[in-house]
Amino acid sequence: MRVIGTAGHVDHGKSTLVHALTGIDPDRLKEEKARGMTIDLGFAWLDLPRLDGEVESVGVVDVPGHIDFIKNMLAGVGGIDAALLVVAADEGVMPQTREHLAILDLLAIPAAVVALTKIDLVDDPEWLELVMLDAAELLASTHLAGAPIVPVSAVTGAGLEKLKRTLATVLTDLPPRRNRGRPRLPIDRVFTLSGFGTVVTGTLLDGEFNVGDAVEILPARRTARIRSLQTHRRPVQTAQPGSRVAINLTGVGADELRRGDVVVHLNTLTPTTLIDVRFRLLADAPRPLRHNQTVDFFVGAAEIPGVVRLLGAETLKPGEEGWLQLRLARPAVVAAGDRFILRQPSPSQTLGGGVVLSPSPQRRWRRFDPNVLTRLQTLARGRPDEILLETLERLRLTTPKALLTHVELDAATGAAALDELRRQRALVEIAAGEESLLLSLSAWRRLADGFAARVAEHHRQFPLRRGLPRSEARSRMQALLPGVVLSVRHFNALIDALAQQGLLYADDACVRLPDFAPTPTPAQQRSIERVLAAFAASPYAPPNLQDTLRILDENTELLEYLTDQGVLVRLGGDVLLRAEDFNAMVEEITAHLRAQGAITLAEVRDRFQTSRKYAQAVLEEMDARRLTRREGDVRVLR
């Protein structure tokens, strides 16, 4: 699932273009209708052609272009895959075009397409060419240099199909959205829907949400449950990372939430008021950035006042990069690698932006501590927790020691990064003897789901068996971990962890799903009743193995079910007895031995009016169970 966001100067036709592309008017507020200008975020979706001939539904976030509503614009562009930068052909590049592009560059939005709108108002081809050159020159100084430029008219429809194809191509070339198994949804809209209750919307990051999930809304830590999910007004059971999602929440009121809050799984992220960052001050910033300067911090859909602590320098000049520690007026919900924007509160103006290096530093750093500056340089080069997590995903299953040998980090940084992943609950750690096993959270869920599916398939194939034998279960789990040598010890540790989480039941012989119970069909139950009637008619000389199978219509699975369930006991020499009859024989033989001290095979045969074969099978089973022992021709108690 992909999301594109508009950007550009006020009145350059962003909303009109979105309406022409999608058939949806993104301006939903009365004031927006009255003023003919977007004030808050608008949302729509667009079906784009794919290379395989199918169509893909893509979310669209329409943002305000007016300088007075830049804050609303920032709430909408943080989670997009590509920008649709709108430049009116009759006016060309304008001040808010430049500021919006600067924001897109600072947020490292991965791709863009320039829509040159209102071409129906331009008769001069040379003017149109100049505007296109200006737009290309403006992009050249950013990471979006070379983005395609498509002339269009939302009024006549000219160029719209080409614009759709261009957007489809740009989105196809992007890598898939990251799934870290740690979903979070920055809320950009909260409302109440009659008959449903509280609904929040946003762009889902880093994982999946499912209907029924228990969640919490940060930073206030309000707990709720997902009643239903929608993407582009269509109900879904699972919301995918990168998609526009509407979540219907139970257990929390709309008046308890606000834009900028973040929906997460329980205990996966921790709000923070102190953040270490790498920051770039825009080249056209009005003045240098000073220590203790007051700023507004924008991340996700949140806006939070804060104070800059400048590290390693007295000031930061326009165009320079440096290290900051931000002290926020209220908690933010961020992860390492998140992009942010800083603006000065008054007069309102974008200062610059950067990337979060450490979302929860231990304390306020000394500004010129060389150890702190070295640590920040290391974090900026690679974000060790991200490196570790990506390496863990690649290794699938490993130990802490082995994981740290696969990354180019010093021991202290690697250990701190591993602790950070533990704190974030981005991995699963399983005790396995002297050293634990590590899987990423997403890999653990894939393993758990995949293995449960294989156990369920075994239940469908063999509905009368007690479960999947452990020896076979190991090979099936091994297939889910290609490239990993799954030892017996590691397999047992994984099985124990799955059982502790209630995902399956395991004993020394087999594994099964918790809610599974072998259940014969009505026809099979009638066969069972015929067999048991035959055994009851002659309890100590019942049908042998071959006769029993004939009664069961040669169904060996049904016979195995009866022995697994303990209804029948299978002894040596193909002897079968009902468990109750075998137990009765054992009790009577044991009582005789206590009274007389010894018993012969012939005495057992005569006492129970059975055959020598059955008597011998019972006595040998008692020997095997260490109840008796043979001394010559007699048995005595052990």
Which pLDDT tens digit goes with each residue over 349-364?
899 999 998 887 878 9
pTM for this entry: 0.67
Whether the pLDDT of residue 263 is over 60: the answer is yes
377 and 422 within one domain: no
Percent of the chain with pLDDT over 90: 56
Which pLDDT tens digit goes with each residue over 404-452?
877 766 678 888 889 989 988 889 999 987 789 999 998 999 999 999 9
Q: Find, among 353, 359, 355, 354, the residue nearest to 335 by Cα.
A: 359
Q: For position 53, what pLDDT does the model report? A: 67
503 and 399 within one domain: yes
The C-alpha angle 282, 283, 287, rounded to 5 degrees, equals 80
Give the CATH number, domain containing residue 143: 3.40.50.300
Which pLDDT tens digit goes with each residue over 64-116?
644 544 666 666 566 788 999 999 999 989 888 888 898 889 888 899 999 99
Q: Is residue 178 part of a domain?
A: no
Band of residue 196 on the pLDDT scale cut at 50, 70, 90: confident
Residue 204 to residue 229: CA distance in whole angstroms: 12
229 and 358 within one domain: no
Whether the pLDDT of residue 401 is over 90: the answer is no
Whether the pLDDT of residue 180 is over 80: the answer is no
Give the CATH number, domain containing residue 254: 2.40.30.10
Q: Is residue 303 part of a domain?
A: yes
Q: Is residue 572 part of a domain?
A: yes
Long-range contacts of 595-598 (CB under 8 A, 24+ apart): 597/636, 598/631, 598/634, 598/635, 598/636
HEC-encoded secondary structure of 404-430: HHCCCCCHHHHHHHHHHHHHHCCEEEE
> Average pLDDT in the 368-397 region?
83
Q: Is residue 177 part of a domain?
A: no
Band of residue 38 on the pLDDT scale cut at 50, 70, 90: very low
Whether the pLDDT of residue 52 is over 70: the answer is no
Q: What is the mean pLDDT of the chain?
A: 88
Q: For position 69, what pLDDT does the model report? A: 44
* More confident of the two residues 394 and 126: 126
Q: Name the 3-class secondary structure at 134.
A: helix
* More confident of the two residues 483 and 145: 145
Q: For position 379, what pLDDT does the model report? A: 75
Percent of the chain with pLDDT over 70: 94
Compute CA distances 555 → 464, 533, 551, 558, 561, whole Å: 11, 17, 9, 5, 10
Q: For position 66, what pLDDT does the model report? A: 45
CB count, 10 Å around CB of 625? 10
CB count, 10 Å around CB of 40? 21
109 and 55 within one domain: yes
> Average pLDDT in the 498-504 region?
93
> Average pLDDT in the 485-500 region?
93
Q: Is residue 18 part of a domain?
A: yes
**Domain count across the chain:** 5
294 and 414 within one domain: no
Q: State the DSSP string of 481-526.
A: STT----HHHHHHHHHHHHHTTS-EE-SSEEE-TT------HHHHH
375 and 403 within one domain: no
Q: Which of 152, 172, 192 is the last residue of a domain?
A: 172
Q: Are strands 234-236 and 189-193 parallel, antiparallel or unpaired?
A: unpaired
Domain membership of residue 228 as a residue range: 184-265
Q: Is residue 119 part of a domain?
A: yes
123 and 67 within one domain: yes
> Cα-flanking dihedrals φ and ψ of residue 56, to 5°?
-120, 130
Give the CATH number, domain containing residue 457: 1.10.10.10
Residue 579 to residue 566: CA distance in whole angstroms: 7
